[in-house]
Amino acid sequence: MSRILEVNDLSVSFQTYHAEVQAIRGVNFHLDEKETLAIVGESGSGKSVTAQSIMRLIEMPPGEFVDGSIMFAGEDLTQKSEKQMENIRGKEISMIFQDPMTSLNPTMTVGKQIAEALIKHQHMSKKEAHNQGIALLKLVGIPNPEARINQYPHQYSGGMRQRAMIAIALSCNPKILIADEPTTALDVTIQAQILDLMRGLQEKVGTAIILITHDLGVVANAASRVAVMYGGKIVETGTVDEIFYNPKHPYTWGLLGSMPKLDGSHETLQAIPGSPPDLADPPKGCPFVTRCPHAMKACKEHMPAYTNLSDTQKTACWLLDERAPKVELPESAIVGGTTVHG
């Protein structure tokens, strides 16, 4: 498998009236061809900023690339001009968003919205784009596409709108699809359908997917590798099995512990107490220190380096240092075999 995207030490900040908010601080990850990488974390951890940085959808100013690079096809996306990015967006990398209710233009027919990218990138005529649009709607499972293509988004249900968004995103066979919480705004049955659809299309089209979510159920269902983000940093990364069965970072434990269990072993949901750090004034050491039950002196002062646990798993935590006391995986974070790949 070859690498198609490599994010190196990426730091993005936003200038606000009060301070510089360091939304992501030195993020490293890569994406291989045809794989699905999940980026997991709670609100404000920097997931969406990471995704929008790759697409260069962040308004600059107030946003700015402070450091690092985003290597795609041998070129650094942070250095591209707006004009060059127009030829990458939608063609090489495309994106679907969280809320299908608001992510389609209400005054334009779905067909026209699909056709735009086709006309721009594939140089199709209006007629060809229209026919291709019908084929795409059929592909994403919208019944009666010949009639549906001329309808407006308000005539679609939420699930259908997300299907239409997927049709738009995949219209030019992009190499990377970034899905920013694609199922969060949908109800559970539709979520499963949309995930199935994305997985099916990934096989057909051969697109690599970056799946951004806070829902570990979705991760188990759809991803092959996981990067756990917290406080603008990736604190742990590994394959789905490693993250679910052998997590090493207390934040990952917290995330797993806060997932509802099917076997009823926990009466109430476990929350992680406290709130994420203020990134306008980021902590010197580990960002999780104020909420971590195992915090030590070193955690406050120094950011832990990554410990390579396997070829694929890397964790940034002082507990993995040989001088640290041994901490057992808490019972709440133990995942029953039935919940993963369910």
Partner 1 sequence: MAKYLLKRLGFILLSLFFIVTITFFIMKAAPGGPFASERKLTPAIEQQLNEIYGLDDPLYKQYIDYVISTAQLDFGPSFKYVGQSVNGIIKRSFPYSFILGMEAILLSLSIGVLLGVIAALKHNKFSDYAAMVIAVLGISVPSFIMATILQYIFAIKLQALPVAKFDSFAHTLLPAIALATTPLAFIARLMRSSMLDVLNADYIKTAKSKGLSKRVVTYKHAVRNAIMPVVSYMGPLVVGILTGSFIIEKIFAIPGLGNEFVESVTNRDYTVIMGTTVFFGALLLVSILIVDIIYSLIDPRIKITGKGE
Residues of the shown chain interacting with partner 1 in the complex, contacts defined by CB under 8 A = 55, 57, 82-83, 85-91, 94-95, 97-99, 102-108, 113, 116-117, 120-121, 152, 154, 165, 168-169
Residue (178 or 201) nearer to partner 1, CB: 178
Pick 169 or 333: Cβ nearer partner 1: 169
- Which residues are within 8 A (CB) of 197 and not within 5 positions of it... i.e. 6 or more apart? 140, 141, 163, 166
CB of 86 to partner 1, least distance (A): 5
Query: Structure tokens of 130?
Result: 């229209």
How many whole angstroms separate alpha carbon 88 and alpha carbon 300?
41
Number of other CB atoms surrounding residue 60 within 10 Å: 12
**Under 8 Å CB-to-CB from 301, ≥6 apart: which residues?**
284, 285
The nearest distance, CB 62 to partner 1, in angstroms, is 10
Residues with Cβ within 8 Å of 135's Cβ and at least 6 positions away in sequence, in order, are 145
For partner 1, which is the closer residue by CB, 30 or 120? Answer: 120
In this complex, which beta carbon is closest to partner 1, that of residue 109 or of residue 246? 109
Q: Which is nearer to partner 1, 87 or 338 (CB)?
A: 87
CB of 92 to partner 1, least distance (A): 9
> Which tokens hold the place of 132?
């291709």
Q: How far is the CB of 152 from partner 1 (least distance, A)?
A: 4
Closest contact distance (angstroms) between CB of 156 and partner 1 is 12
User: Cβ 104 to partner 1, closest distance in Å?
Assistant: 6
Q: Do 313 and 238 contact (CB within 8 A), yes or no?
A: yes
Of 115 and 279, CB closest to partner 1: 115
Q: Which residue has the tokens 């006309």?
A: 119
CB atoms within 10 A of CB 136: 24
